[in-house]
């Protein structure tokens, strides 16, 4: 290296050669993940907007349909004012109810039912009426009642007859209750009606509904073919819209 010369106006200090300015660099948008977050696909934003619009429209349509359906149901209710149909067990005749040593129940039960439709503008189609008889939770007989149509403000009658024998599996507690009923001469029998009905609103018919009727009865045993009229007390059955 040659000898370093000092400049007189620098008073003996040497700062080295001058530093060149930094070179300019260029960066193209869209390469190596750059571009400040801009999307290289011009259709992605459009697709996202379209999907958002579709979802919003669907939600608005569904919400509008729900509001219209709710208003329609409310208007129909105010017009027709539906009331629950009333079921009554008016009379019952029990001429045989014995359980032998083989747990076989022999029975002969007849039940008269009254059905009251209190509605002024609603008719009822009874497409199926299945009556089941139970004793201490054990079903011992099932019968089908006739189908019929019941008009406005109408009262109809049905008769269910259970006769025959069937196996019932009663434990010690249930047999003790049976012996108590036998001693008193009055048996606790539960009759349930399983219905399939349609409601008629002027010219419109509803889809089928399946209510259940529960008649929890205390029926005295009669020694002859008919029970005494005052022995059985008429009672209203429970209506359940399941």
Q: What is the DSSP letter of 112?
A: E
Q: How far apart are CA 137 and CA 174, in angstroms?
A: 10
* Phi, psi values for residue 34, rounded to 5°: -85, -160
Q: Does this model's pTM top 0.85?
A: no
Res 75: pLDDT: 56
Q: Where are the alpha helices (DSSP H) in the chain?
A: 44-80, 172-184
Q: Please give the pLDDT value at position 72.
A: 63
Per-residue pLDDT of the chain in tens (242 residues, 90 and over written 9): 445 455 555 555 555 556 666 665 555 554 444 444 444 455 455 667 777 788 888 888 888 888 887 766 555 554 445 688 999 999 999 999 999 988 999 999 999 999 999 998 899 999 999 999 999 999 999 999 999 999 999 999 999 999 999 999 989 999 999 999 999 999 999 999 999 999 998 788 888 999 999 999 999 998 654 444 447 889 999 998 76
Residue 151 and residue 149: Cα distance in Å, rounded?
Answer: 7
Q: Which two tokens stand for residue 144?
A: 């089908």
Give pLDDT, residue 48. 73
């Amino acid at each position: 290296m040659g000898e370093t010369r000092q400049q007189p106006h620098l008073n003996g200090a040497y700062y080295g050669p001058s530093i060149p300015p930094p070179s300019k660099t260029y960066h193209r948008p869209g390469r190596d993940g750059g571009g400040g977050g801009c999307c290289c696909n011009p259709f992605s934003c459009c697709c996202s907007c379209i999907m958002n619009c579709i979802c919003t429209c669907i939600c608005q349509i569904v919400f509008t349909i729900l509001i219209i359906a709710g208003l329609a149901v409310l208007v129909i209710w105010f017009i027709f004012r539906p009331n629950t149909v009333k079921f009554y067990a008016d009379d019952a005749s029990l001429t045989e109810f014995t359980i032998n040593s083989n747990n076989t129940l022999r029975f002969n039960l007849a039940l008269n039912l009254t059905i009251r439709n209190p509605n002024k503008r609603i008719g009822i189609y009874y497409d199926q009426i299945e009556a089941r008889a139970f004793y201490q939770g054990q079903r011992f007989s099932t019968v089908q009642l006739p189908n019929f149509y019941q008009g406005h403000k109408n009262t109809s009658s049905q008769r269910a007859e259970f006769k025959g024998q069937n196996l019932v599996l009663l434990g010690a507690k249930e047999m003790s209750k049976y012996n108590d009923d036998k001693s008193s001469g009055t048996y606790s029998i539960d009759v349930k009606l399983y219905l399939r009905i349609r409601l008629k609103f002027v010219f419109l018919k509803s889809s089928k509904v399946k209510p259940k009727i529960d008649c929890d009865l205390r029926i005295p045993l009669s020694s002859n073919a008919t029970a005494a009229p005052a022995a059985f007390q008429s009672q209203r059955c429970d209506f359940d819209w399941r």
